[in-house]
């Protein structure tokens, strides 16, 4: 019994794989399960396809000619449009250590070759379900902090927060990924944009301003500093 996928349209999966036989097998099985399938046989092609068609999920082989799967993943995570695109990394059994590193660079999950099709489908469905349950755009909320993006307003426990444009974007980004730790470089890419060259130290200045505004009433500090790693929206003792 095939479970219906959350997305009313048939989800588009991008298969990035350089072994033709595996590609054929995956395409056959995924189409049978109601997926639309797009394929790429190397990293560059994968990035081009993502930019063109924006798949719902990417199945990304680790070992690819040219640009590796991990580099593709890194580049996807760097771009605002693809930051939250679900990615499953496919590795060979001998690459387990690397697979863990793959998750560190932002893959949502990984599966080891040779894999069972049912196991792969279960992971794909879980990820698709998760990405479909992201709250409607326009309102973000975490532990008493609420942002209304349409009205460009932010509050903490009902108290209006007067934020500068950069602090507003910073808070918006943190609220999209609560508890996750971001390095200064990641925050620069996400909030300032990869094209703009700003000193990492600039991030600290804006974090300080953000903190001052959201903690103005002596509430628990919601911006956690993680030594040598960066910042997260969280409380110190959470
Ligand atoms: Ca390969």
Tell me the C-alpha distance between 58 and 124, whole Å: 9
The tens digit of pLDDT for each residue in 24-74 reads 999 999 999 889 999 999 999 999 999 888 898 999 998 899 898 989 999
From the CA of 24, how far away is ligand 1's center (Å)?
14
Q: Do 174 and 206 sit in the same domain of this protein?
A: yes
CATH code, 123: 3.40.50.2300
Q: How many domains does the chain have?
A: 2
Average pLDDT of the chain is 84
Does the pLDDT value for residue 7 go beyond 50? no
| Same domain (yes/no): 154, 226 | yes
pTM value is 0.54
Cα separations (Å) of 11 from 16, 90, 232? Answer: 16, 19, 32
Give residue 62 CA to ligand 1 midpoint distance, Å. 6
121 and 101 within one domain: yes
* H/E run at residue 175: helix 165-176
pLDDT score of 5: 39
Give residue 166 CA to ligand 1 midpoint distance, Å.
41
- Phi, psi values for residue 155, rounded to 5°: -140, 155
- Mean pLDDT is highest, among 16-25, 50-59, 73-82, for 16-25
| Residues 167, 99 share a domain | no
Q: Residues 112-164: pLDDT tens digits? A: 888 889 989 988 988 887 766 444 457 889 999 999 887 889 999 999 999 98
């Amino acid at each position: 019994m095939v479970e219906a996928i959350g997305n009313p349209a048939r989800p588009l999966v991008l298969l990035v794989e350089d072994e033709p036989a595996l590609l054929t097998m995956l395409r056959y099985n995924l189409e049978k399960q109601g997926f639309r399938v797009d394929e790429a046989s190397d990293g560059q092609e994968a990035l081009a396809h993502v930019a063109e068609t924006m798949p719902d999920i990417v199945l990304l082989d680790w070992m690819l000619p040219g640009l590796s799967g991990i580099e593709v993943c890194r580049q996807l995570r760097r771009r605002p449009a693809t930051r939250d695109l679900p990615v499953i990394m496919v590795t060979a059994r001998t690459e387990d250590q690397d697979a863990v590193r793959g998750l560190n660079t932002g893959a949502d999950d990984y599966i080891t070759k040779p894999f069972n099709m049912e196991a792969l489908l279960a992971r794909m469905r879980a990820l698709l379900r998760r990405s479909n349950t992201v709250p409607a755009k326009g309102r973000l909320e975490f532990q008493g902090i609420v942002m209304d993006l349409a009205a460009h307003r932010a509050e903490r426990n009902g108290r209006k927060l007067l934020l500068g444009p950069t602090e507003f974007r910073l808070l918006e980004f943190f609220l999209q990924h609560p508890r996750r730790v971001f390095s200064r470089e990641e925050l620069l890419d996400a909030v300032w944009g990869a094209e703009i060259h700003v000193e990492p130290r600039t991030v600290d200045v804006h974090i300080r301003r953000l903190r001052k505004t959201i903690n103005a009433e002596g509430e628990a500090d919601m911006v956690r500093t993680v030594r040598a790693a960066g910042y997260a929206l969280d409380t110190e003792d959470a």
